[in-house]
Structure 1
Amino acid sequence: MTTALATPDVKTWPWQGFSIRYQQIGTTGAPVLCIHGFGASSDHWRQNLPAFGEQHRAYAIDLLGFGLSDKPAPNQPLPYTFETWGQQILDFCREVIGQPAYLIANSIGCIVALQAAVDGPEWVKGVVMLNCSIRLLHERRRADIPWHQRLSTPIVQNLLGYAPVGRFFFSRIARRSVIRNLLGQAYHRPEAITDELVEAILAPALTPGAADVFLAFVRYSQGPLAEDLLPQIRCPVWIIWGQDDPWEPVAMGRDLANYPAVKTMEELPGVGHCPQDEAPELVNPLVLGWLGEAEAA
C-alpha cells in the first residue's frame, strides 16, 4: 500500500514501571487497538495497521512480556495472566488513546480483549476476534484432548518449571528453522511465511527474560476461557476464523458464535491460525465494514 500512512510510528509507554512498545497510525475516526497472540508482537499487524489507519486512529501494542516490551520475571511484581494483560489494555485506552476503543485480537489476544471488555466495559466499544484461543491446555479442557495428552501435559508442564530444563527447551525453539517450521503448521498459505515474519517472531525471543515469560505461560493452565467471559460482554463481538487452523479447531470455535454478544462469525477457507497476517486482503475489508456499520449505528 503506497499511502502517506504506510509506516506506523513506533513509540513506548511507561506502565507499572515498565516500558511498553506500541505502534500508531492514523489521526481521525474511532480508535482501534490490535492485540497479538502468544509469541507474537505488534509487528504481527504490519499488514493491517495501514489499512485501519485510513479510517481510524489505529494502534497495536506489545503485551507485557512479549515483543519489545519489558519482560520482568514472573510475579515480580506482576503475574503473566489475562487479568494483568486486560488491565494493561484498559490503562492504555485511558492513558494513551484517551477514549473507548474497538479491540481487534488474534489467538490468546482474544482472551485479553474479552477480559478487558469485562473489567472495563466503558472503555471497549467492540471486540473483533480472529481465531480465538480455545486454551486446550487449560485444566478444564483436559476432557477435550486425547487421553495420552491428558496424562503427559501436566508432566511436561512440571518438567518445564525446572529452570535449567525449561530454558534449554526454549533455546532449542528460538531458532529460525524451528520458528519457520512452527509457522508452517499454523499457516495454511506457505507463501505468507516470509523472512520478515520469521525475524519478527525470532528477535523478541532473543531478548532478556523471553524464556521465563514463555515458560510461565505454557504452565498457565488456569484463568478464564472465552466461554466464561462472553456471557458477561456488553459490547458487540465479531468473529473471524481461518478454517484450516490446526491449533484452534474451527469446529470448537463455532460454539462461541452462539453467545448473544456475538453479531456474526465469518469463516475463511484455506486460511490458518493468523488470518490478519495470512489473508489481510480478506480480513481488512471485513473488519472495516463491521466497524463502519457499528459507528453508523
Structure 2
Amino acid sequence: MKTIINTYYWNNYRCSYTYNTNEILTDERVALVLLHPIGVGLSGVFWHRFIHAWFNRGLPYPIYNPDLLGCGLSDMPPLAYYPEDWAAQLKDFIENNVKKPVVLVVQGALFPVAIKLLQNSPNWIKGVVLSGPPAWRTMTEASNPLQQKLVWNLFFNSLAGKAFYQYARRREFLKSFSTRQLFAKAEDVDNEWLDFLEKGAMNINSRYAVFSFLAGFWRENYGEAITSISQPTLVVFGEQASSIGREGKIESPDERLENYLQHLSNGQGVKISGRNVLPYESTEEFVTVVENFVKSLS
C-alpha cells in the first residue's frame, strides 16, 4: 500500500488528507472518499484499520481520507461548524483534488454532511455507504436553532466548555465513553484506539468541531432530503447498534435499517457484527460489504 499525505487550501484554511492506493495507475477506478466521525480526538485516523484491510485484499480502488476542518492535521479555527461548512470543504476537495465521481463512505452522524454534499454536487457522487447512521427519528427531528446558539455561547464557547473538554479528553473518560456508547465488546476498546484519541485531542482547539456536534448544529429534519437521494446507497448497521440518547431505546437495529430502506429510493441494507464504530471494531466484515457494493457500481 502506498500512502501520500497531502495538503490543500480551502477558504484560506490549510486542510490535510491522505491518498492511499495499491497501484500507480488508478485513473480508471472509482475512488472512495471517507468521512470520519466527529468526537474527542477523532479524525481521518479513525479509518486506518479499514484502509489497511482494504489494500491487504489487493483491491484496486484508491481511497482519499480527508481531515475535516477542525480535526486531525487540518486547521482548527475557533468556529461553530455546520454541516454546510464541511460539505463545502468536501465539494472543493472532490472537484479540485479527486477530480472524478466518488463513492462516499460515511461514519455515523456525519450523514448530514453527506446530505448537504449530495444536494450541492450530486454529479460528483456515484454511490454512498452509511456506517451506522443516526436513528431515523434523530434524522427527522429538528432542534431549536435559538437553543443551539444559547448552549454554544453560554457553555461550549466559554471557559466552562474549555474545562469540560480538558476533562473529556482524559484517557479514563475516553475509555468509559467508548465502552458504554461505541463498542460491542469492552475488550475492543484497546490501547491503539485510546492512544489515537488522546493524541488527536491534544490541541485544545479541536474542541470546536466536537462542541459544534454536541450543540446540535447538525440537527434538522432531513426526511425529504433522504428520500430525494437517487444514488445507490448501502446502509450498514451493527447487530448491537444503539443510539447516544433516548432514541436508542425505541428503535432496534432491524427497525432502524427498515426505516432507512423505506425512504431511500435506491437503497440496500445489511447488518454485521459490532455496534456503532463498524469500520474499526468489525473491520473485515465492513470491508467485505463495502467491496461488494463498490464492485456492483462498476
Shorter-chain TM-score range? 0.7 to 0.9
Kept in 1, the 8 Å contact 2:112–2:218? The answer is: no
Equivalent residue number for residue 81 of structure 1: 82
Does residue 230 of structure 1 match 2:226? yes
What per-residue deviation string (whole Å, max 9, x for no partner) do you get for residues 142-171 of structure 1?
7xxxxxxxxx99997675246011111111
User: Residue 222 and residue 273 in structure 1: after superposition, are their counterparts in 2 closer, same or farther (change >3 A)?
Assistant: closer
Alignment match, 1:147: none
Pairing 1:165–2:160 present: yes
Deviation at 1:247, TM superposition (A): 2.1
Q: What is the aligned residue count?
A: 276
CA-to-aligned-CA distance 1:15-38 (integer Å, 9 cap, x gap): 211121212111422110011112
Long gaps (5+) in structure 2 = none
| TM-score normalized with structure 1 length | 0.84
Alignment partner, residue 36 of structure 1: 36
1:257 to 258, 261, 269: 261
Matched, 1:109 2:110: yes
1:1-297 aligned within 5 A: 5=1, 8-26=3-21, 27=23, 28=26, 29-39=29-39, 40-53=42-55, 54-74=59-79, 79-134=80-135, 140=141, 159-161=154-156, 163-185=158-180, 186-221=182-217, 223-247=219-243, 249=248, 250=253, 251-269=255-273, 271-295=274-298
Using a 3 Å threshold, how does the CA distance of structure 1 residues 109 and 215 change in structure 2: closer, same or farther? closer
Query: How far has the Cα of 1:212 moved from its partner?
Result: 3.0
Once residues 205 and 225 of structure 1 are traced to their aligned partners in structure 2, the CA distance between those partners, rounded to angstroms, is 31
Distance 1:135 1:43, change over 3 A: farther
* CA–CA separation in structure 1 for the residues paired with 2:129 and 2:280: 15
- TM-score using structure 2 length: 0.83
Return the alpha-carbon distance in structure 1 between the equivalents of residues 156 and 204 of structure 2. Answer: 18
Percent identity over the alignment is: 19
What do you get for the CA RMSD once the two structures are aligned?
2.6
Distance change (3 Å), C-alpha of 1:82 and 1:138? same
SS of 1:46's partner is helix
- Structure 1 residues not aligned, in runs of 5+: 143-151
Partner Cα distance (2:139, 2:293) in 1: 31
Aligned AA for 1:47? R
Tell me if structure 1 keeps the 8 A contact 2:183–2:276.
Answer: yes
Q: Report the AA paired with residue 278 of structure 2.
A: P
Question: Per the alignment, in what secondary structure is the counterpart of residue 65 of structure 2?
Answer: strand
Q: Distance in 2 between matches of 1:162 and 1:32?
A: 35
Give CA deviations for 1:86-108 in whole Å, capped at 9, x if unaligned: 11111111111111110001112
1:106-146 CA-to-partner distances (Å, cap 9, x unmatched) read: 1122221222112100111010000113497789367xxxx
Change (3 A) 1:258 1:41: same
Distance 2:141 2:153 in 1: 17
Decide whether aligned partners of structure 1 residues 208 and 154 sit closer, same or farther in structure 2, where only a CA change above 3 A counts.
closer
Deviates more, 1:186-195 or 1:102-111: 186-195
CA contact (8 A) 1:230 1:259 kept: yes
* 3-state SS of paired residue (1:55): coil
How has the CA–CA distance of structure 1 residues 200 and 225 changed in structure 2, closer, same or farther, with 3 Å as cutoff? farther
Inter-partner Cα distance in structure 2 for 1:260 and 1:83: 21
